[in-house]
Structure 1
């Protein structure tokens, strides 16, 4: 894992986008990251029916989520708002 990218524990559910929002820091820059329910369902092989399920699955697959986010950050795959989206 690249030590220049640090992930915080500030995980929250975003009802509007149906994603889990978390943040990373690279060279002092705060990067907002989103992981879609569909990605979590694909990874877990289960169905997410509410925010509590989404947060639980996120925690179970946190290492995989952070690894995916790290790869996207390193490849500079930011959206127009400067965020990382894992679909």
Structure 2
């Protein structure tokens, strides 16, 4: 494998859907990575009451989340839509 995976700094917080999306470049393709806001709260031990707080908590955990996403990408653990879910029950 050993293909370089690069993450950008952009976040797409979908408060109504309860997700935070970020993306990576892998093998010339863009990979959408997602984590539920409930998972962010659980992992951080913090209450997340709005989209701004979700972004702050994500940034606090960014390094660990990107490491986890990198492992899932390398394992090609994509869902049916080609996305990577962190902490998703299907993973």
Cross-structure match for 1:54: 54
Instruction: Kindly state the Cα deviation for residue 17 of structure 1 after the two structures are TM-superposed.
Output: 2.5
Task: Give the paired residue count.
Answer: 86
Extract unaligned runs of 5+ from structure 2: none
1:68 aligns with 2:57: no
Deviation per residue, 1:9-61 (Å, 9 max, x gap): 11120134211111001111100111111221122111111101100000011
Q: 2 CA distance for matches of 1:9 and 1:3?
A: 20
Contact 2:3/2:26 (<8 A) preserved: no
Over aligned residue pairs, what C-alpha RMSD do you find? 1.4
Residues 56, 3 of structure 1: alpha-carbon distance in 2 compared, 3 angstrom cutoff: farther
**Which structure 1 residue ranges, 4+ long, deviate > 6 Å from structure 2?**
none
TM-score normalised by length of structure 1: 0.90
Q: 1 CA distance for matches of 2:78 and 2:43?
A: 22
1:81 aligns with 2:67: no
